[in-house]
Amino acid sequence: MQLMPYSEITYAALRAQLADRQEDTSNIYWSDAENGLYLQEALRTWQSLTHCWRDRMTFQATQNFEWYDLTQQEGTLIPYTQTDSDLISVMLYHLLEPQLNGSGQYVGTDMFTLADFTAAMQRRRDQFLLETGMITGRSVINLPGPPVNRVSLVDTIIDVRRVAFVSPSGFYTTLWKTDEWRASAFKALWEASPQNPPSNYSTAGVPPITLKIIPPPSGSGAAEIITVSIGAPLNPSAGVLLGIPDDFVWVLKFGAMADLLNREGQSKDVQRAQYCQSRWEEGVEIARVTTSVINAYLNEVATFPTSIHSLSTYRPGWQNQTGAPDTVASMSWNLIALSNVPDGNGPYSVSLEVAENAPVPEADGDEVQVSSEDMDAIIDYAQHLAAFKQGGKEFMDTVPLYQNFIRLATVRNERLKGAIPFYDRLSSSSTEQEKQAPRRIETAAK
C-alpha cells in the first residue's frame, strides 16, 4: 500500500490558491480545470527534477525469461498513463484555443489544425526517444543464413543498443559492437571466414536500419536485439499513450509548441517559440541522466544493480545460465534483466525501489503530496505556466517564478546529496549502460 505522508492541503484548495495568485478567483480567464492541469504538470516537472517521490514495487519473475519492461509489470510505479489527448488539452489552453469537442474534433481558429498538433507531438515524441534513448525494447529476428551477413531491420527502429546471436538450440552469445576497420585490423579476411557463433556486429558500412554480423554466421540462427524505436502513431481524437515517462511529457509539450509557434503565418511567435525550444533542450538533457531503479532486492535479499554491459563483460553467457536470480541489470530507464535466468524452482520475487511517477491528485479531496517548504515552488511554476497564454511582457514577467522553481529544486537535490552518502551511486543505475556503451559521443565546441 502506498503511503501518503503529507496532509497539508487538498487539490481543491491548491487550485483555489493558484486562482488567488492570478487574481482570478472566479475562474474567468483561467478555468478551474485549466489550473488543475498546470498544477499537475508542475508536480510532474518537480519529480523529473528532484526524484523526491520514491517507493518500492514488487513483481514475480517469470520462468526462463530474463527481460522485464518495468512499465508493464503488475504493480508498477512507473506506468505510462499520459495520452496525446491529455497533452493536446494543455496545449490548447496555452494557445488560447477551445478544447476538442465531444467527438474529438478541433473547433479552434484557422491558425492551427488537428493535424498540425498531431504531427508536432509525434515528431517531437520520436525525437525525444532518439535523443534520450530512455526507452528500449527487445525483439528476435531470424538471420538470413550463410553466406549472407547483412540483416534488414524494421523501419521503426531508431537505434540498436545490444545484439546477441541465438543458435538453433537456443544458446545465446553476446555480439560486441565493432566496425569493419577494426574487424579487418584484428582478423584479416574475416568476410571469408564464417563461424558459429559470430562475435561482433556493425552498423558502420551498411545502409540505414541494417546490421552486419561479423564474421558471417556459418549456419542458421537468430539475433536478439535491444533497440530504441519510434512510438505508436498518435490520434488525439481517440487518445493514444505517448509511451514516454509521465514526468517528462512536459518536455514533449514544449518541443511541439516550439514547432507550432515557429512556423510562418498567423501563429508565429518568435519569443515564445525560443522559450519553448530552450525548455525542450533543458528537458532532454535531464532525461538523459534520469534513472528509475535505485535499489534492488531478489527474494528480499539486497543486490547491487548493475548494467547489462557489465553483466555481459563479467558473466559471459549469462543468458544461458538458469537458477535463482542473484543480479539485476539495467539496460535503460524501462528495461532490466535478471541473472541467473529464473528456473522452475521459484517463485522468485523482484523488489525495486524506484523513482516513481509523481503522485498527481485528481479528486478535489486528494491531499497534495508536497511538503510545506516546497509548496510555493509548485504554485510559482503553475502560475508561470498559466501566464504562457498571455504572451509578451506579461508572460516574461513570470520567468522569475520559473527560476525560483528551478532554484528550489536544486536546493532539494543538494539536501538529498547531503543526507545520502552514496547518492551518486544510488541515482545512476539506469544510466550506467549509457556511460559504458555510449550512444552519443559529443563533439566539444571549438
- Amino acid identity for residue 395 in this structure: F
Distance CA 225, CA 244 (A): 20
Residues across the chain: 446
Q: Reduce the DSSP state of residue 317 to 3 states and report it.
A: coil
Q: What is the pLDDT of residue 432?
A: 78
Angle at 199 between CA 194 and CA 205, to 5 degrees: 80
Distance CA 109, CA 112 (A): 6
Q: What is the pLDDT of residue 446?
A: 47
Q: Are the C-beta atoms of residues 84 and 253 closer than 8 Å to each other?
A: no
* Alpha-carbon distance values, 56 to 53, 80, 100, 154, 444 (Å): 11, 17, 38, 36, 40
Residue 209 gets which letter from DSSP?
A: T
Angle between helix axes 84-94 and 32-50 (nearest 10 degrees) is 110
Cell numbers linked to 257? 509548441
DSSP readout, 61-115? --TT--EEEGGGSTT-SS----BHHHHHHHHHHHTT-PPP-TTS---S-TT--HH
Calculate Rg over the CA atoms of the chain: 24
- Residues forming beta bridges with residue 350, ordered by sequence position: 59, 298
Distance CA 11, CA 356 (A): 20
Angle between helix axes 270-288 and 32-50 (nearest 10 degrees) is 40
* Alpha-carbon distance values, 96 to 29, 34, 267 (Å): 10, 11, 11
Residue 420 gets which letter from DSSP?
A: -
- Which residues touch 285 (CB under 8 Å, ≥6 apart)? none
Distance CA 138, CA 172 (A): 14
- Residues forming beta bridges with residue 210, ordered by sequence position: 152
- Which residues touch 8 (CB under 8 Å, ≥6 apart)? 367, 368, 370, 371, 372, 375
Angle between helix axes 32-50 and 399-419 (nearest 10 degrees) is 40
Helices H / strands E in the chain, number of each: 13, 17
- Which residues touch 291 (CB under 8 Å, ≥6 apart)? 51, 333, 355, 427, 428, 429, 430, 431
Q: What is the pLDDT of residue 437?
A: 80
- Which residues touch 405 (CB under 8 Å, ≥6 apart)? 42, 45, 46, 377, 378, 380, 381, 384
| Digitized pLDDT (tens) for each residue of the chain, 446 residues in all | 455 687 789 999 999 999 999 999 999 999 999 999 999 999 999 999 999 899 999 999 999 999 999 999 999 999 999 999 999 999 999 999 999 999 999 999 999 999 999 999 999 999 999 999 999 999 999 998 888 889 999 999 999 999 999 999 999 999 999 999 998 988 888 888 899 999 999 998 899 999 999 999 998 999 999 999 999 999 999 999 999 999 999 999 999 999 999 999 889 999 999 999 999 999 999 999 998 999 999 999 999 899 999 999 999 999 999 999 999 999 999 999 999 999 999 899 999 999 999 999 999 999 999 988 899 999 999 999 999 999 999 999 999 999 999 999 998 877 766 656 555 655 566 677 777 787 777 765 54
DSSP readout, 138-187? EEEEE---TT--EEE--TTEEEEEEEEEE-TT--EEEEEE--HHHHHHHS
Q: Reduce the DSSP state of residue 243 to 3 states and report it.
A: coil
Which run of H or of E encompasses 259?
A: helix 249-261
